[in-house]
Structure 1
Amino acid sequence: MQDIRWKALWLGLATLLTCLIIWAFTDAITALLAFSAFLLLYLASHLYWLHRLLQWFRKPELNTMPVGSGIWQDVFSAIYYEKRRHHRSQAQISSALDRFRHAASALPDGVVLLNGNDQIEWCNPTAESQLGLSMRQDAGQPITYLVRPTDFIQYLQAQNYSEPIKLKSWRTIGATLEIQLVPFGINQKLLISRDVSHMEKLETMRRDFIANVSHELRTPLTVVGGFLETLMDMEGAVPESTRAYFGMMQEQTGRMRRLIEDLLTLSQLENSPEAPQETEIDLGTLLNMLLHEGVSLSQGKHEITLEPVEPGLFIKGATEELHSALGNLVSNAVRYTPQGGKINLKLFLRGNDIVFSVRDTGIGIEQQHIDRLTERFYRVDRSRSRETGGTGLGLSIVKHILTRHQGRLEIESEAGKGSIFSAVLPQARLIRKTPQEAQASA
């Protein structure tokens, strides 16, 4: 750019000097005519090279670029080098894109690139096979035109992609796909599909094994427990010197029976994805039952309170399941709160949720354990769990039941300061009734 400016300056000075020389040897009119002629030739030259530049831009190939003369030689040279740099950058980008596509094509998982309107921009061969897509025919088509299961459409529209969803394959009988959307860029999404049929079969075998073994163990444990109880109740049947051992056997048999019952409950929940028939549950009655059960389990060792519940509140759900889930929260609070501690039960509305919380002044839980509390058999302190009679399955059961009711479990805790366990259910399940309606449904 600087060279062009200098050339323009020197050209202007040379033109001015030439006109002055002509004026010195002739008259002013001749000098003006010579200057005008020079300007016309100079303008015609610029127009000519502008025309050549415009023609080249219509088909900008490097090998057809004009050479130019004077200032235009520098202009064309600058454009030429910029075009070459652009070609190199474009080649590098194309090469990187090709490498990405080759790498994505080799992935065992399906990958689909969606734009801001959820239209297909690109997909790999695995996605074509799993989802029934065709890159050649379906590019630019909305993904919902081609992947039509209702669960997927709801998942896409909900815009909550923290967890994947599982769908039965509509192309391969017996196959199961796990699909997750990953947002990126400006409203773009990456759809990742994975065939989890083998994992699902293993999970089904595991559930069936647990259910069958638990069922087979329940009967002999019941028999053993019954004989032990009978012997303990028969006067003189058990010598005093061995009575303590019989008591330990009876206690451990009861613990094993509770474990078997929890395993069967969890297996039943896992094997039936749909909740059983729902009814309208009187929340006031349910919470009073939970209070009495907590007081009975505590045997006067804790101060258990229930905050007043607004009359006429009902919730739609499976009675036995919700009773079991909320009862687990109460019994856990009793088991893990030292004698003399306080336990508070509370029902309240929060935004679009209805919340049942159990607050205790127990031993609390360290933060690193909270995310794993709902895992099967996970225990923060195994020795204490044995002392309290816990099976390690209670919170897992609670999580499954709440999930079946479109709810969730929230846990707040601090070691040494107690915990708050909250069962959160959608307020859409809440039903308000007048005293007359509540009495009629009782």
Structure 2
Amino acid sequence: MSTALIQTLALTLGGALPALVLGVLVSPAWGWALFAAVLLLQLLLGLRYFSRLESWSRHPSPTHALEGAGVWDEVFSRLHRHERELRALIARRDLDLRQVAAAGQAIVDGIITLDADNRIGWCNRTAEQQLGLDLRSDRGQPIANLVRQPAFVAYLAAGDFARPLRLNAVRNDEQVLSIHVLPYAGGERLMQVRDVTQSERLDRMRRDFVANVSHELRTPLTVLSGFLETLRELPLEPAERDRYLALMAEQSDRMQRIVQDLLTLSTLESSPPPPESERVAMPALLEKLKRDAEALSAGRHQIALVVEAGDLLGAESELTSAFGNLISNAVRYTPAGGHIAIAWKPQGRGAEFSVSDDGPGIDAAHIPRLTERFYRADLGRSRETGGTGLGLAIVKHALSRHQARLEIASALGAGSRFSAHFPPARLAP
């Protein structure tokens, strides 16, 4: 039996005893009257406290304590305690929900929750940007009505989510998305949208690289194989035999240059960052590169050198490779009688290395892709000059390892200018 019921019975009995005594000593009517008055008083007190409880139940508040006496005080105390505990529980739940929502917003992938009918329950901002959604107006809408690309609609309709779907973004055709649907919480679904543009680009570059290497090596190997077969099967005059051997040596050298450039690129990609304390004497380095350019030119060009900036901090071998490639390209592609200007000058707080020529120039459409491996603006002329198609890729990697950027300015018939801009941190004190 509860304490409240015992207290209620005790109060009732406490009022009944005096009424019984009065009824025996005076008159039964007076006894019943006293007992009725006691019951009426208890009823009025109960109605008063019930009125307080009814008013509080309309606007329950943990800061407004209910007050009562006797049994009602105990009841009010329990209600007040339960109210505080319930509000604390709700506050913890709200905090957990906010943290989960914040975590969902922080995830770099797009996240969308769907019900069994593929209606949107919630999504983060990343998913809104990727799929062109707006949670404020799109909540509860079937996602297939909002993302209407046929491949996506068919993917949802098929219900086979073992493999993700590759899809172009709604607002950017160049952005590639990977969509994966995962079942959770019974009939609910979680849609993960991942931006795989970079991995797709890298995969395409890898495929192109393998195809280009195969193509670049197959051509000289085919020439060598044909000459070897000719030398083995046909009787040749010594002069003709020597000519064939010279052509074979030329193709062999070309393959060796390709392999060497590939090894250089691999070294640049896998080596630790260049030192920031090793001093590279730029005047001496550029004088040597100018002499090499004059030897390659064999007097066919006028080559000028201007050195006005100080030394650099970095790897001399990498800088030599980068600058040497830019200078040799100018020599190879500039017609006889042309001018080539090599300059090393201050630029703001940094410095700039540049190679300018008055050669045929480059079509603007090719400039953004010149640093890609094996990319050639003019395939025929590149092969004639002995280029491997890897020189500018080496330049780009070597410069980026020194926090420098490569800029290319050229136009057909107006020559070209290749410049490398170095930050102040790379200048020797």
Q: Which has the larger radius of gyration?
A: 2
Alignment TM-score, normalising by the size of structure 2: 0.48
Alignment TM-score, normalising by the size of structure 1: 0.47
